Each structure stands twice: as C-alpha cells, then as structure tokens.
Amino acid sequence: MDGKRSFSRRGFVGGVATALGYLTLDPASRAWAQSATARAPRPKLSTDEYDTLAKLANNENPYGPSEAVMKAMTQSFKYANRYGYPDGGITKAIAEHHGVKEENVLIGSGSGEILDVACNTYLRNGRKILSSEPSYDVIFEHVTAYKAGTIRVPSLPDFRQDIPGLVAAARAYSRDIGFIYLCSPNNPTGRIVTKQEIAQLLDGIPRDMPVLIDEAYFHFVEDPDYETSIPHVFEGRPVMVTRTFSKIAALAGMRLGYAIAPKEMISDMRPYATGTINAIVKWGGVAALTDTETQAKVKRLTVDLRKRTTAELQSLGYAVIPSEANFFMVNLRRPVPPVIEEFKKKGVLVGRPFPPLMEHLRVSVGTADEMSRFLTAFKEIVPGARTAKAG
C-alpha cells in the first residue's frame, strides 16, 4: 500500500476533519438521489426483443435452473393456491446444508430482502452503514428509506477492500455505525476478502458491532485463501452471512436468499421480514442445495469463459481487475456511460456504472455465444481495441 493512503488512514483516526477528506460520507439526501436513479424503471422490452439480447448486465446465471430444480418447482404448483402448505423443509434444508440450527436461518425474497431487513433492523436512530467503495450499490438504496447514511472507505489501488481502513473507520465512528457491510467476492470488482482479512477485520472492530458478510458469489471462487465466514457466526459475536439462490442456482427471478446469523440476530430481524416467500422457489431451493453436480458444471463453464474473455481483453491492451466471480471489470480508460449505450445498440447489455469507477465496465459472464458477441462488439466500439489486437 502506498504511503499517502497509509498516512491518510492514520490521519482520520485522529480526527473527523481529516477523515472527511478520505471517507465518503453520504448524507441521506445524496443517497436518496442515488436511489431515485437506481430505482428508475428498467426499459420495457418485448419478450422477443429481450430474447435476442446478450444479457451481461446483471450477473445472472445464463444456464437457468437445473433439471432437478425445474422438476421440483413444477411439481409444487399444486401449492400455488395455498398458505400453510408443505414447503419442502427449506429452512431445515438450509440449516442442515451449513450444519447450523433452524433458529440461525432467516429466508427472504432473495438476499436483497435480507439486506433490506438488516437495514430496517440495525439502522435505527440515524445509524449508518460502514462499507467499502465501490460495493454492491443496491444496499445503499435501502439506507435512504431509514434516513440513515453511509460511511464508505475507498478500496485500495489494486481494488481490494481496505481492511485496515475499515477497522480504523469502525473504531473512529463506532457509535454512528449500525452495521458493517462487506461483500466478498465484492460486486462490482469481483475481488475477494481473504479469510485472514476477515479475521483481521473481526479482531479489529468493536466486539458488539454487527457485520453483514454478503457471500452472493461464494460459489464461483477458486482462490484457496477464500472461505465462508459462517463459522464466525458462532463465535458469540453479531456476524451474519447472506447467501442467495440467484447466482449459482440460477433462481434470480424466483427470489430466494437467506441469512445465517446468531439466534438473537435472527429474532431481531424476523419481524421486519415479510416472511411470505413464493411456494415454488422454496421447493426449487431445496432441490438446488443438493444438486452439486450442476453447480460444479456452472462454476467450471463460467470461470473458463471469464478467463478466456479477460485474457482476450488483456491481449487487446485493456487491463482487467482480477475477479473470482461470474463477472469482471475492464478498464476502458474512458467514461463508461456512452460505451454502455453503444453496446446496447448492438444488442449487448452490459453493467451499469459503479461510481467512483467511472472508466471501468462491469461485464457479467454469459454463455460462450454471448461472450463472443461481447468481444465482437468490444472491438467495434472501443477505440484502439482492434488496432491493439492487430499490433
């Protein structure tokens, strides 16, 4: 890490005034404005138009639910008209999958609902989220509803999250922070926080400070220094881990996710969860948990395609942030918003801008055909790309 950053970190521990030059402090008003933008209705496409697009904008699993999952979902249509139906034991299945008790599990309509519930539970009295910048932006939308703000620690020059910086901020603002949000692999960068860094974070912060570790992209990681933080849930501290069926299980549209947390945290959060999860996806989720063969296949296909695509971008002269997820960021060395529009004109949907990385384009890993369409479009759109290849 460079001296200036290190100096800054030491600086803000000494005083809020110094910190303001280093951290991003979002007042509710700014967060609200971001929310208004982010929540704008998505463009409405006909089903035919949508089908023709290369969909690389939302970190989806392009292969869809596995045969076993589809079978479980189709069969559970018999409960479409019911409330207290057998739900396949989804909470129990999740608990057993992780070797925890049912009292440690809270299910939601995607892990997005869980993040919302965490905000509603822990951001009372104007408390703030402490997080990295950039990170998963949708959680910062939720903040606005609670008239809370965010304290955001810039990532390091290599785009990894600044763990000592987060620890220092947690100590400096301990009474203002509702919880720490840590996404690993991080969206939008794809970079992980290692197991050693997670321990470093937890050892460094006040012991009673809630920490939400978002493992939405857990299943795509290859790095041996990464592991789940679920064991930390059982160390007598307020640590929760969120997971989703949206990514590896390809159930984004069906909405199912969950938190693993100490019993007390689950109890605190449960009243804020709507608790009304679609019947079909509960059965789909149970089937997905045991379908490890399909998951391994999706991981292999995705990681291979990510590596091939990023290697080609690098050969074209464009730096790529090393990713451990089903997406990556490429540095275009020019503002991304007009480039995103150019891709759209060519039928390729790519990721939204993630401030402050306004020259990095986030690209999800789709099918082989979609990645080929992306690369073709890239060479047409991004100046110098074709030349760099030729050179």
Identify which of residues 80 and 358 has a Cβ nearer to a second copy in the complex: 80
By CB under 8 A, residue 40 contacts a second copy: no
Rounded Cα–Cα distance for residues 366 and 63 (Å): 8
Residue of 327, 266, 237 whose CA lies nearest to 94: 266
- The alpha carbons of the chain give a radius of gyration, in whole angstroms, of 21
Minimum separation from the CB atom of position 231 to a second copy (A): 26
Binding of a second copy by 77 (CB under 8 A): yes
Residue 123 as a binder of a second copy (CB under 8 A): the answer is no
Q: Is 84 exposed, middle or buried (0-12, 13-18, 19+ CB in 10 A)?
A: exposed
Query: How many Å apart are CA 325 and CA 362, to the nearest integer?
Result: 12
What's the min distance (Å) between Cβ of 279 and a second copy? 3
Exactly one of 26, 60, 214, 291 binds a second copy (CB under 8 A); that residue is 60
Among 14, 16, 27, 39, binds a second copy (CB under 8 A): 39
Query: What is the four-CA torsion angle of 366, 53, 249, 109, rounded to 10 degrees?
Result: 130
Cβ of residue 157: shortest distance to a second copy, in angstroms?
31
Task: Kindly list the strands in the beta sheet with 320-321, ordered across the sheet, starting from the edge strand earlier in the chain.
Answer: 320-321, 327-331, 360-364
| Summary count for the chain: helices (H), strands (E) | 16, 13
Under the criterion CB under 8 A, does residue 125 sit at the interface with a second copy? no
Beta carbon of residue 336, minimum distance to a second copy (angstroms, whole number): 18
List 65, 188, 262, 285, residue binding a second copy (CB under 8 A): 65
CB 286 within 8 A of CB 72: yes
From residue 204 to residue 233, the character string flagging contacts with a second copy as x (rule: CB under 8 A) and all else as - is ------------------------------
Place of tokens 């949000």: 181
Residue 175 touching a second copy (CB under 8 A): no
Torsion sign across C-alpha atoms 326, 196, 112, 143: negative
User: Taking CB under 8 A as the rule, does residue 57 contact a second copy?
Assistant: yes
Site string for a second copy, 134-173 (x = CB under 8 A): -------xx-xx----------------------------
CA–CA separation, 298 vs 62, rounded Å?
9
- Cβ-based nearer residue to a second copy, 112 or 134: 112
Cβ distance 100 to 230 under 8 Å? yes
| Residue 34 near a second copy by CB under 8 A | no
Question: Which residue of 192, 212, 251, 377 would you call a contact of a second copy, by CB under 8 A?
Answer: 251
Applying CB under 8 A, does 270 fall inside the site for a second copy? yes
Contact between 110 and a second copy (CB under 8 A)?
A: yes
E-assigned strand segments in the chain = 24-26, 54-56, 105-108, 128-133, 150-154, 177-183, 211-214, 239-244, 257-260, 320-321, 327-331, 348-350, 360-364
| Cβ contacts of 158 within 8 Å, gap of 6 or more | 191
User: Given the complex with a second copy, which of 12 and 217 has the nearer CB atom?
Assistant: 217
Give the integer Cα–Cα distance in Å for 162 and 133.
9
Q: What is the spatial distance between Cα 126 and Cα 31, in angstroms, rounded to a whole number? A: 13
Q: How far is the CB of 21 from a second copy (least distance, A)?
A: 31
Interface mask (CB under 8 A) for a second copy, residues 280-319, using x and -?
A: xx--x-----------------------------------
Among candidates 324, 65, 337, which has minimal Cα distance to 187? 324
Any contact of residue 248 with a second copy (CB under 8 A)?
Answer: no
Count, residues near a second copy per rule CB under 8 A: 61
Per CB under 8 A, residues contacting a second copy are: 35, 39, 42, 44-47, 50, 55, 57-58, 60-65, 70, 73-74, 77-86, 89, 108-110, 112-113, 116, 120, 141-142, 144-145, 246, 250-255, 270-272, 274-281, 284
